[in-house]
Amino acid sequence: MKKIKTALTIAGCAAAAMMLQHPAAKAETDSDGFLRIKQGEEQYKNPFGVGVEVATLFGDPSKPGIYVLRIKWPPGIMSKPHKHPEDRHVVVLSGTWYTGTGEAFEPAKAVPLKTGGYMMHPNGKVHWDGTREEGAVIQITGYGPSGNTFSKPGEPQFGKTN
């Protein structure tokens, strides 16, 4: 009986810890630790103040470990050239997401990735990305800690494309 109580306590603590890792999503974690977030139950935040909304589905990008983010890009906005300290794997869930590489911010030269497209951002490599005439939703998976280092930190982090 003591072993069962210990196992239940450990399982309960693990489930609670999993829930604490998901501050921006309404998540359902079952007794085996499977996590489910139904479409529309993501809890988005607008951390940049420009309409780009971010939901943390798993983990915490500021800490060591795997994280999963879902990002809604409104039409006509792109991030300026920046880099991250970790590899990032990006999948386009809807819309068209435009990507560019290098220090020069040239939205007209961005490569479009439509729904289902994938791109890997290598750690430390400068890139910029966003949308044009339609918005997009992307999902990013990485291994934190993460961060953004902008090429020109004194300038705005985002630019308009429309």
Predicted local distance difference test score (pLDDT) of residue 30: 87
Q: Where are the domains of the chain?
A: 53-146
- In this prediction, residue 161 carries a pLDDT of 83
Q: Looking at residue 5, what is its pLDDT?
A: 40
Whole-angstrom distance, CA of residue 80 vs CA of residue 100: 10
For 99, the token pair is 């990507």
Helix (H, G, I), strand (E, B) or coil at 13: helix
Q: In this structure, what DSSP letter does residue 151 have?
A: S
pTM: predicted TM-score of the whole model, two decimal places = 0.80
H helices of the chain, in order, are 2-20
The CATH homologous superfamily to which domain 53-146 belongs is Jelly Rolls (2.60.120.10)
Q: What are the 10-residue block averages of pLDDT along the chain, 162 residues in total?
A: 40 38 62 90 90 95 97 96 98 98 94 98 97 97 96 92 78
